[in-house]
Amino acid sequence: MGDCLRKTCPCLETLWVRLFGDKKNTECSNTVEGISNDVADDECVEISDNGRRSFTRNPRNSMRRDAPQPTESAIYMALWRFEAREKDELSFQEGDLFNVISRSGDWWTARKIDRNGRVLAKGIVPNNYLARGESVNAQPWYFGRMNRFEALSQILSPENGEGAFLIRVSEKGQVGYVLSGGMVSTVWNRTHPFNTLIDLVEYYTTHTLGSVSCLGEACTRDLSHSTVDEWELPKEEFTLGEQLGTGFFADVHRGKWKNSINVAIKILKNDSLNDHEFQREVQILKKLRHRHLISLFAVCTSSSPYYIITELMEKGNLLNFLRGSEGSQLDLVSLADMAAQVADGMAYLEQQNSIHRDLAARNVLVGENYICKVADFGLARIIKEPFYVSEDKKIPYKWSSPEAISHGRFSNKSDVWSFGVLLYEMLTYGGIPYPGYNNYEVYRQIIAGYRMPAPEKCPNLLYKLMLACWSDNPADRPDFKELRSKLENINRYELEQ
């Protein structure tokens, strides 16, 4: 009877499934263990002949809500809080989710949604406040198009623990997504449909796959050192490209890892750090990970000169960017937003009891959508006391506080002084601090009470922030948490005063 009704009224398939069960899933469960099930029509967790499981979703079942396509639309996440200033703008908090409707220049029309996809509001949002959020491509477990043998090679890596898994797109065009992981027996999923792969992964990290244990950590991938223990890589794996910049401690080049992945390669100058100090600080930098700090990927220390490998920010350092055609056109709102990002990264360092000691526009890198990340930890130190005393003679005078120059006393508050100089650089679009003064003259002028005048067209509010950063007494200077808050909450009206 069930077969007859299915054929007569296929439009009521959902009802027939409730009454008579899912015939297709029953057919799927007859798959022979030990044989690849990559072309099965329905979702299932299979066991293959190598003892590994694969979960398949077939793009042909496009009408089923538990079968998303490999090209599912991206969701964007708010990086920071934004307060609407016009009626058609949309206020939001850090972490809010959006579906973008249309893109037009720096402002996008978007729907604010909750975790279940329900629309909460609609309006105009600044695109540089958003990042691709819960899209498949953004997930650490998503490895893109890959065949079964490549997936097996990744999973069998010694860095992976029990329960490690990845999701890939099968090279067989009719298959779709495949979940590959540890050794299990065959399991069929009939009762839990999922709107997205993210929902599926979240569910099975806390629920067993039938008789199978829960999903564990995402499979490690090459150059993803948040999970890989071994950071040392041979220089032969990297290809040097054009030089992007030079400084006290290193030259920076564009490069490629294994001729495929873009990276930045910092080549340390031989006399910049001794071996012990370098190794100690690399261990520290591995732990400093934040959305507004450059991520360390690898080091090459088998021979001199040492390499430090980091992510590549396509727009280069902030100093050169501001002096270029694109950066020189930025308005005050954009500059204040970028300064807030730098303050956010520095607030994290402050929270981690870390001091930078060389904060300047040349050591901030800019990426797409004007995302800023603090870089160049060549002078960075982790501190247990409120300040750090150094005999290092390589001090960037024009960015350093009086106590750092005179006594080598560095602290988070000396970084705040440097941040004030960074603000000056930004509001002069890459201008040179203390123009016309040499290092010795700068120090003499500062201890005599001289402070740089406000840059042309600099809002009074921002100049007051600079002067606060340049207070003689370190205790009177704001901390980075306060600076971040003030910069994030500046509105266009205040910048016009």
Binding-site residue positions for ATP: 266
| Count of positions (residues) in the chain | 497
> Do you find a cis peptide bond into 234, omega within 30 degrees of 0?
no
- Could you say which of 38, 96, 199, 358 is catalytic? 358
Question: Is 157 within 8 Å of 165 (Cβ atoms)?
Answer: no
- Residue 160 neighbours by CB under 8 Å, 6+ apart: 154, 217, 219, 220
Pick out the residues of the known binding site. Answer: 266
Per-residue burial over 441-478, b if 16 or more Cβ lie within 10 Å, else e, is: ebbeebeeeeebebbeebbeebbebbebbbbeebeebb
**Termini Cα distance of the chain:** 79
| 82 phi, psi to nearest 5 deg | -140, 130
Question: Is 207 within 8 Å of 217 (Cβ atoms)?
Answer: no
**φ/ψ bin of 184: left (φ > 0), alpha (ψ from -120 to 50), beta (otherwise):** beta
The two three-digit tokens of residue 432, written as one number: 């040179």
- Residue type (1 letter), 470: W
Q: SS3 string of 108-133?
A: EEEEEECCCCCEEEEEEEEHHHEEEC
Question: Is 470 within 8 Å of 451 (Cβ atoms)?
Answer: yes
**How many of the other CB atoms lie within 10 Å of CB of 128?**
19
Query: How far is 238 from 331, CA to CA, in rounded Å?
Result: 38
Q: How far is CA 330 from CA 106, 282, 326, 422, 429, in A?
A: 11, 35, 7, 16, 9
415 included as an active-site residue? no
β-strand pairing of 166-169 with 142-145: parallel
Question: With 0-12 CB in 10 A as exposed, 13-18 as middle and 19+ as buried, what is 122?
Answer: middle
SS3 (DSSP) at 387? strand
The two three-digit tokens of residue 167, written as one number: 């999701």
- Residue type (1 letter), 89: E
Per-residue burial over 133-146, b if 16 or more Cβ lie within 10 Å, else e, is: bbbbeeeebbbeeb
Q: To which residue do tokens 């490998």 refer?
A: 309
Would the CA dihedral through 118, 119, 120, 125 be positive or negative? Answer: positive
Looking at the annotation, which residues are catalytic?
358
